[in-house]
Amino acid sequence: MMCGLLHKYKLAKWPLLTICPVYYRPGVEVFIKPTTAKRVIEYFELEGLKYSPSPTYDFYRAYREQIIPHPVH
């Protein structure tokens, strides 16, 4: 929902969409900075992840599951 609203104003960017959730739930959520996310995927050879500059929940969920496999609630 946030992505759809922000896309209308050309503000749907990974950092803007992920900073607030990670601030309030750092053990559960992840911050996605585009350049860093691409390098993390490449360096750790994370399978099934293809970075896209257009934010999607499917990518976010898959990335988060590989970065924080068992989130702390």
Instruction: In whole angstroms, give the CA distance from residue 13 to residue 71.
Output: 24
Helices (H), the chain: 2-8, 14-24, 34-43, 57-67
- Entry pTM: 0.86
Nearest 5°: phi and psi at 11?
-115, 5
The string of pLDDT tens digits covering residues 10-58 is 999 999 999 999 999 998 999 999 999 999 999 999 989 999 999 999 9
